[in-house]
Amino acid sequence: MQAHAQHPNLWLVDHPLIQHKLSVLRERTTPSSDFRRLLGEIAGLMTYEVSRRFETEPVEIHTPMERMLARRLRCAPTLVPVLRAGLGMTDGILALFTEARVGHIGIRRDERTAQPEEYYLRLPPDVQDGPVLVVDPMLATGGSAARAVDEVKRTGARDISVVCLVVVPEGLAAMQAAHPDVRVYAAALDRCLNERFFICPGLGDAGDRCFGT
C-alpha cells in the first residue's frame, strides 16, 4: 500500500474482500442491519492495514515453554468517530483493538452552505500519547474531517490518521490544504460531489442508512 499518484495524502486499501463488502454496502436495497454490519466489518479490515505504522516496544513474557522478548503496542490507539455515521465503524475497529480509547466529536453539516457545525466534543485526557484514528465513512467536502482533526491537534496529538470508506478529490484537496501531515485511508476514490455536496456514486447518507432514519 502506498500514496495515491494524484493525491499524496490518500492511501487506498483495495483488498478484494473489502471491495466485495463495499459493493454490497453501496447497493441501495441493502437494509440498515446489513449496512451497519458491513460498515463495521470493512472498518476492521481497513484498520489492519492502517495499524502497520503503529509503534511497538519490547516486553518480556513467559510462554508455557520459556521466557522470551516479544513486542506489544507502545500505546493504545484512540478512536474519534465523527457522529453519527462514524459510530458505525467503531465496533469493527474495537474488535481488533479492545484496549483502544474512544473519543467523540459531533459535527453536522449545514445542508445549505455545506459548512461544518460542531455540537459535541469529548476526548480522553491523554489522547496525545498515542495514535489517533478519526473515523467517518465518507470524506465529501472535507470540512467535517478537517474540523475534527483541528480539535484533536489542539490536545497536542500529532500521530493522526483519517479512516474513511469513500472519498472524492474535492475532500482530499480540502484535507491536504488544511492538514498536509495527515494521511487519509480509504477503500475507494469516487468521482465527484453533486450539487447537494453528496458523493457520487457514493453510499447515500451513511448516517441515515446505518441507523434507519
pTM for this prediction: 0.91
Q: Looking at residue 178, what is its pLDDT?
A: 96
- Structure-block grid coordinates of residue 75: 500505546
> What b-and-e string marks burial along 191-208, b requiring 16 or more CB atoms within 10 Å of the CB?
eebeeebbbeebbeebbe
Q: Residue 113 — pLDDT band, cuts 50, 70, 90? A: low
Check: CB of residue 161 under 8 Å from CB of residue 50.
yes
- Structure-block grid coordinates of residue 55: 509503534
Residues 6 or more apart from 211 whose CB is under 8 A from it?
32, 36, 84, 88
For residue 99, the 8-state DSSP code is T
Domain boundaries defined on the chain: 10-211
- Structure-block grid coordinates of residue 117: 457545525
For 125-134, write each residue's pLDDT tens digit.
989 999 999 9
Q: Can you name the CATH fold of 10-211?
A: Rossmann fold (3.40.50)
Q: How distant is the alpha carbon of residue 165 from its chain centre?
A: 7
Q: What is the mean pLDDT of residues 162-182?
A: 96
Q: Looking at residue 212, what is its pLDDT?
A: 78
CA angle centred on 200, ends 197 and 202, rounded to 5° = 100
pLDDT at residue 153 greater than cutoff 80: yes
For 29-46, write each residue's pLDDT tens digit.
999 999 999 999 999 999
Helix residue ranges, H only, 57-168: 87-94, 143-153
